[in-house]
Amino acid sequence: MKLSLYSLFILAIMAAAPLWAQTGDAEAGQGKVALCAACHGSDGKGILPLYPNIGGQGEAYLYKQISEIKAGIRVVPEMAPFTAALSDQDMMDIAAYYSTQPRQLEGSQPLESVPFALNSEDFLVLGELVFRSGNLENGVPACTGCHSPSGKGNFPAGYPALSGQKTAYLVKQLTDFQNNIRTNDGETRIMRGVVARMTALEIEAVANFISGLN
C-alpha cells in the first residue's frame, strides 16, 4: 500500500507540473557550446563515465540543471567555472541546442567494481524489477512513474530521459540523492524519497538496466 500511495503522489506532482515555454534559440546555442563540448561533446555525448550524455535531453531539464549549477543549488565543481559567466539567455540557448541533438545511447555497462555475488542475468532481472515495479518490501517506488516505461522521461513536466545514460553517472546521482549531496529535486524531495530505502545493490542494478534501455 505504501508503494501505491507514493506512486500516486508522484503522478500527482507530474500532473501539476507547469509546461515549459521554449524560449531558447538552438541555432544561437550552437555557437555557445565550445566550452561545454570539452566534457559533453558538440553532440552531447559525455567523454568520461561520470560525464552524462545530454544530447536529446529535455530542454526544460537541461536549463534547470545549468541554471541551478550556476546558482549553487546543484553543486558540480567541475561545471561551476563554466556556468559562472553564462547569462540566462545563454543557458536557455545551450539547453535548446543540446535538446535538438540525437540521443546518445550507451548500452548496458556493468561496473567492474560491483562487490555483489550475482550473476549477470540475476543482476539484470533485479534492475528491471526495481525500474518497472519498485520494491514493495522496502517501499521503493517504480522509476516508470516519472521517467516512463521506456525510460524516455516526461519532457513537458521536466523529468529527464534516463535510457541509455552512463551507468557510472546514474549510480553517482542516485547515491548523491540518497546521501543528500544532490538536493535539487525541489521541495517535494521526489528523488530523495525514491532512493531513501534503496540498497546499494538495487542502485547498481537499476542503473545498469537503465543504461541498456534504448
- Report pLDDT for 117: 52
Contact 65, 74 (CB under 8 A): yes
Contact predicate 53/109, CB 8 Å: no
pLDDT given at position 148: 96
C-beta of residue 136 within 8 angstroms of C-beta of residue 144: no
What single-letter DSSP state applies at residue 55? Answer: T
Q: pLDDT at position 87, please?
A: 97
* Position 103 pLDDT exceeds 70: yes
Of 183, 189, 195, nearest in space to 140 by CA? 195
Mean pLDDT, residues 119-131 taken together: 88
**What average pLDDT does the segment 100-117 reach?**
66
**Residue 91: exposure state from Cβ atoms within 10 A (0-12, 13-18, ≥19):** buried
Q: Higher pLDDT residue, 171 or 120?
A: 171
How does pLDDT run across 55-69, given as a tens digit for each residue? Answer: 999 999 999 999 999
The set of cell numbers assigned to 186 is 525541489
Mapped onto helix, strand or coil, the DSSP state of residue 62 is helix
CA end-to-end span of the chain: 31
**pLDDT tens for each residue of 3-46:** 454 554 455 455 444 445 558 999 999 999 999 999 999 999 99
Closest CA to 161 of 20, 68, 56: 56
**Structural domains of the chain ordered from first start:** 26-99 (1.10.760.10), 106-211 (1.10.760.10)
Return the amino acid letter for 192.
R
- What is the DSSP annotation of 141-179? PPTHHHH-TTS--BTTTTBPP-TT--HHHHHHHHHHHHT
**pLDDT tens-digit series, residues 150-200:** 999 999 999 999 999 999 999 999 999 999 999 999 999 999 999 999 999
pLDDT of residue 174: 98
Task: Reply yes or no on whether the pLDDT at 111 is more than 70.
Answer: no
Provide the pLDDT confidence category of residue 118 given band limits of 50, 70 and 90: low
pTM over 0.95: no
Q: pLDDT-derived band of residue 108, with 50, 70 and 90 as boundaries?
A: low
- Is residue 2 predicted with pLDDT exceeding 50? no
| Residue 106: pLDDT band with limits 50, 70, 90 | confident
